[in-house]
Amino acid sequence: MKTVLIFFNKVFFLFLISCSIAGPEYERSPNIIFIIVDDQNMELSSFNREYIQSPNMDRLASRGIVFTNAYVQQAVCAASRASFLTGLHPESTGVEYPYSYYFIEEVIPKYNTIPGHFFRNGYYTRLFGKIHHGYSETVSETNYSPGGTRYVSPENIRIDKELGSEGVPPYEMYDGPDSLFRDCRTADAVVRAIAGAAEKHQPFFFAVGFSKPHLPFSAPKKYWDLYERESIPLAQNNYRPEGYPDIAISRYNLNQYKWEHDIADSVFSEDYQRLLRHAYFACTSFVDAQIGKILDQIRESGIEEDTYIVYISDHGFHLGEQIHWGKTTLYESSLRSPVIIAGEKPINQNKRCNALVEYVDIMPTLMELAGVEVPDHAEGISLVPLLQDPGRSFKNAVFSRQEKDAIGRRKGYSVRNDRYRYTEYHDHVNNRIMARELYDLDSDPLETYNMAIDSENENLVNELSQLLQNGWKKALPEWVTKFPDNPEAPPAYSWGAEGIPRREIWHEIYGGSEEEGWRKATERRLEKGGDFKW
C-alpha cells in the first residue's frame, strides 16, 4: 500500500508540474532547442545571401519566421549573452567584457537565466558548448564541453601555444574529418541527448553553443571547397564613412594576428580580403552542417511537431565593412544579427518579419512558447505576436550601446528607428557628447555618409537625440502597459578581477566627484593588476 501511495504522489507531482508549464494554447509542453552561434553576421542564404552554402539554415527558415531586423544590445560576446540570457539591457546587467562580479553574484541569483527558468519549471535542461562567457551554470546535468584547441593542425597548435596570435594565421583549412573540430563534437553530443531525451517523457530545453565562425576561421577543407574564391564578393562599403568620428571604429580587430600583416587600421589587398571571407564562409557552412545533424535527429526521434528551434548569433561581425574586421562597433554590421524561430503552432511558417526587434526579446519569447510565466523583471517583450502575424506593428525603435575604452569612461549609445541610425559618443568623465553619427538607412543602407556633420540636419539630430534619451520603455508597442523597474547596475570595471574592493569603488565614484571616482578606480585597478585588454 505504501508503494502505491508513493507512486501516486510522484504521478500527481509530475501532473502539477506539467499543468504549471503548459500554456492555454498547447496540449503539451513543447521541447525547446536554443542554438547560439558565435560571431555569425547576416551572411546566410536565408537572409538573401545566395552565395552562402547554408542549406540547413534554409530548411530551418522554411519551418519558421526569419527576423530580418533583429538587433543586439551590445556587439561583444559577454555583454550580449548576459543581456539576452536574462532579458535585461546592459545598464541592468552591468556587463561589458567579461562578465562582472555584480552580474554573477547579484543579477543571476536574483533574476535567473533562460536555462535556469526552464530548469525550475520542470524541464530537462542541458547546456552544450559555449552558452555563457566564462561562467558555468549547472542545471539538470553538468554542461557539455567539447574540449580541444582552437586550431586543428598540429603545427598551428604548437605555434599557437608558443607565440599566441602573433604566430598563427587568423584562418585554417584542414583536410580531415569534422570530428576533429569542437563544434562537431558539440553537435554529436546534442544528437545523443535528443535521442535519450525523447525517451524521458519530460519536455527538454537544450541550449547549444557553437564556437564558429568566431576567430580563428578554422574549418575542414570540404567546406572551403564549397566556394570558388575568385567568385566571393567583397564588402560593398570597404571604406570609412564620410564624416565618421575616429571613436566609432573599434579597437577589436584582426590586428591581434601578426602572422602575415601588421594590419592595424589598414586596408587589405582584395586577394587577402577574399581569403578571409572565404575562411569565414567555410566556417558558416561547417556550422550549418552541424545544425543539420540536430534537425535530422529531431525528425528521426518523431518530435518535430513538439519542438521549437530558435537560432541566433551573439552579435554580428564586420568582414571589411567600414574597413573593419571584427565587432564592437555601433554600425549595422555589428549590431544587426540573425534570428530564426521555427516550429509548429502558433508560428506562421516560411515567412519573413521586418519588424524592429531586440535580443532582450528572446527570453520572454522562449518562455511564452513553452507556456512558462514571463518574469516581471523582463525588459524585452515576447515575439509570439509576430510569429502569428509577422506584419503587425511592434517597437518603434531599438537600442544598443558599446564601451569605447577599458573602464567605461567613454561609451557609445545608438538608436535605430524605421529609417535612421543615430549614435552619440559620451565622455562620462567630463559629461559631454564627443561625437555624433546619423545615417539614413533608406537611402544609405551601407552607412557611407554621416549626416550629423551637416548643419541642415540639426533638427533631425535633436529629434533622434531625444528618442535616444527617452529610452527603450517609450519605444514599446502601445499595448505594453507593464514596465519593469530594475536598478541600474554599477560600472562593470568596478567588479573586475578577483581581489578588487568592488563595492568600495562603486561608493567612491558616486560618493564624491565623478572625475575623482574614475581616477581612484583606475589607480586601484592598476594596483591590483587589472587587465584593460579586450
DSSP helix/strand/coil, 64: strand
Residue 256, classified by CB atoms within 10 Å of its CB into exposed (0-12), middle (13-18) or buried (19+), is middle
List of residues 6+ apart from 115 with CB closer than 8 A: 85, 125, 127, 131, 137, 139, 205, 207
Active site residue 77: yes
Active-site residue, selected from the candidate residues 77, 184, 283, 353: 77
Q: Is 394 within 8 Å of 473 (Cβ atoms)? A: no
Active site residue 283: no
CA-to-CA dists, residue 132 to 186, 260, 315, 319, 525, angstroms: 15, 32, 14, 25, 25
* Structure-block grid coordinates of residue 91: 545598464
Q: Is 505 within 8 Å of 427 (Cβ atoms)? A: no
Q: Is 366 within 8 Å of 114 (Cβ atoms)? A: yes
List of residues 6+ apart from 204 with CB closer than 8 A: 31, 32, 123, 124, 125, 126, 193, 194, 197
Q: Is 137 within 8 Å of 113 (Cβ atoms)? A: yes
DSSP helix/strand/coil, 319: coil
Active-site residue, selected from the candidate residues 89, 132, 133, 214: 133
Which single residue is written with the C-alpha cell 552558452?
A: 131
Distance CA(237)–CA(240), nearest Å, equals 8
Q: Residues with catalytic annotation?
A: 77, 133
